[in-house]
Amino acid sequence: MSNEIRKNSDLGIRTTFTYDELAGVSSDLPIPPKMIEESMKIIESEAEKQFDDIKKISGDLREARSKLEPIIHTIDDTVPYSDFYGIDGGIGFPSATIGGTYSSAVGIAYPTNEKFEPFIRVDPINIPAGLGAPHQNYLQMWMKKYESLVAVEASQNADCIFLDGTLVPSIFARYLRSAKDYELLRPDFLTMFKETFVNSNGNKCLVQKLIESKSPIVGLPKRSRSRNIINDRLAFMNLPYSISDLMACSMLLEPGEYIAPMDYKTLYMEQAENDEHAKWHWDLITKFLREKDETPKIAGLEENVETIPYLAENSFVTYYKPVRGSIAIRVEILEKEKSNLGKILNTIKKDFDKVSRLPFCVLMADRYSKSSNHIPIMIQKAMETKLIRLAREKGVTDDDFLWFINTMFSSLGSQDI
């Protein structure tokens, strides 16, 4: 390495160091000016082009509104629901140490009516070190159980339930394949899956209770990749693949307008690469679960699964724009709630938070559930402090042993560099 030290005349940034200076080099070195200059050239050349492209697409979409008018509706003056909850679940970020893996699962039901209390179910998770760190599938199953539990509890009081996420838990049909990987964990994956999704021996599972509750259940996914509307009515525009129905409806709909409900199956299958893959994906969450095909058998599940197929086959989707200046939101309901769609959409409008682009009840459930991220770290730090205190109480003076306690609670037993 050259001993020459160069300085940027404007920024005073050193770009070359000698060997004997390396100990003092920060790990947060600035980006070399040459890299910044080259990056800015790309930005300058692309920005103008993309600005013109976006401006054209925006204008074309507004002109294309006539293509959607047959399926655009305006909500009526139906009185909104007054007693409703937002539902969300969360997982604490897994903290793996020599002593084991700590995590947590939480389910939150948050009401906007002050006469009701929130429902909160939270559980710290401790996985023994000998069983390794569990995959996200296992933690997601734990969270889904708690989320379903608080939703069922809230449905006893509420006249409507808003879920932060999709109404159709299709991903758990895939997670079921990994059930055997968690047989030694307690509770094991399959037990939680059954409690959440499988009616057995005359006992109704949590999701079945939710389906049969008097309260409409509404799914509000934050993301939507569907391009059914674009492909069906706006194909002539040749819109970039990154533009979804949600983005198009955000431009095309006026406040208070929504798209005529579409069946979930059509939207779900259109996201596959081809017709063969689409059929396989749909069969996985309907036929394979209901008819005990290979997927449940491999997982060790002997019962039929009726809840996930029912939700998939009976869900409908609309896009709704509650207020001016906000994007549209995707709203999922069961077919039996079509007659209540006006009340549901008016309730969303009533409780809508423009900044977060969610009903306030869902926003608060989301915020509370995210706080669970800190639980494993809290457990880890408190455990480390407790062990050090015990060592002092027992008169331990072995520096290596004290060092080992500290190391055990660093990430995977390794020192941070």
What is the full DSSP assignment across 194-255? HHHH--BTTB--HHHHHHHSSS-EEE--S-----HHHHHHSGGG---TT--HHHHHHHHPPT
Domain that holds residue 380: 375-413
Question: Does residue 83 share a domain with residue 67?
Answer: no
Lowest mean pLDDT of 97-101, 162-166, 250-254, 368-372, name the range: 97-101
Average pLDDT over residues 65-87: 90
Percent of the chain with pLDDT over 70: 87
Residues 266 and 306 both lie in one domain: yes
Is position 41 within any domain?
A: yes
DSSP assignments along 301-350, one per residue: --S---HHHHHHHHEEEEEE--STTS--EEEEEEGGGGGGHHHHHHHHHH
Q: What is the pTM of this model?
A: 0.80
Residue type, 234: L
Segment of 61-65, 139-143, 295-299 carrying the highest mean pLDDT: 139-143
360 and 386 co-located in one domain? no
For residues 279-288, average pLDDT: 88
* 109-118, 170-179, 277-286, 296-305: range with lowest mean pLDDT: 296-305
| CA separation for the pair 183, 293 (Å, rounded) | 21
Q: Which amino acid is at 153?
A: E
Burial class (CB in 10 A: 0-12, 13-18, 19+), 60: middle
- Alpha-helical segments (H) within 25-76: 33-63, 65-68
Query: In the structure, what pLDDT confidence band is assigned to residue 207 with cuts at 50, 70 and 90?
Result: very high
CB atoms within 10 A of CB 224: 20
In the chain, the amino acid numbered 363 is L
Q: What is the mean pLDDT of the chain?
A: 83
Q: Which two tokens stand for residue 103?
A: 């995590």
Looking at the structure, tell me whether residues 337 and 384 fall in a common domain. Answer: no
Residue 253 in any domain: the answer is: yes
| Whether residue 171 sits in one domain with residue 269 | yes
> Residue with structure tokens 């933690």?
139
Among residues 264, 280, 222, 265, the alpha carbon closest in space to that of 246 is found at: 222
* 315/403 same-domain check: no
Last residue of a domain, one of 14, 45, 71: 71
* Per-residue pLDDT at 17 exceeds 60: no
End-to-end CA distance of the chain: 24
Same domain for 350 and 315: yes
Whether residue 5 is contained in a domain is answered as: no
pLDDT in tens, 98-120: 767 778 888 999 998 888 888 98
The three-point CA angle 262-80-348 to 5° equals 55
| 389 in the same domain as 270 | no
d(CA 168, CA 317): 11
Q: Is residue 42 part of a domain?
A: yes
**CATH number for the domain harbouring residue 207:** 3.30.2170
Question: Quick check: is 86 in a domain?
Answer: yes
- Identify whether 192 is part of a domain: yes
Residue 19 domain-assigned? no
Q: Which residues contact 353 (CB under 8 A, 6 or more apart)?
A: 359, 360, 363
The CA-atom distances, in angstroms, between 9 and each of 2, 6, 12, 13, 230 are 19, 9, 6, 8, 52
Residues 227 and 323 in one domain: yes
Tell me how far apart the alpha carbons of residues 375 and 93 are, in angstroms, rounded to a whole number: 8
Asked if residue 23 is part of any domain, the answer here is no
Last residue of a domain, one of 48, 71, 94: 71
Grade residue 339 by pLDDT with cuts at 50, 70 and 90.
Answer: very high
Which residues, in sequence order, are CB contacts of 146 under 8 Å at separation 6+?
A: 89, 105, 106, 107, 121, 122, 123
Q: Are residues 146 and 236 in the same domain?
A: yes
> What are the pLDDT digits (tens) for 144-170?
999 999 999 999 989 999 999 999 999
Tell which of 43, 71, 99 closes a domain. Answer: 71
Same domain, yes or no, for 58 and 83? no
CA-to-CA distance for 108 and 149, rounded, in angstroms? Answer: 9
Q: In this prediction, what percent of the chain has a pLDDT beyond 90?
A: 34
Q: What's the structural domain count of the chain? A: 3
* pLDDT classification of 415: cutoffs 50, 70, 90: very low
* Structure tokens given for 99: 């002593």
Of 371, 337, 314, residue with least CA distance to 162: 337
What's the CA gap between 312 and 56, in Å, rounded? 37
Q: Distance between CA 358 and CA 371 in Å, rounded? A: 18
Distance between CA atoms of residues 134 and 126, nearest Å: 10
Beta bridge partners of 7: 14
Tell me, yes or no, whether 363 and 386 share the same domain: no
For residue 7, what is the DSSP state? B
Residue 366: pLDDT above 70?
yes
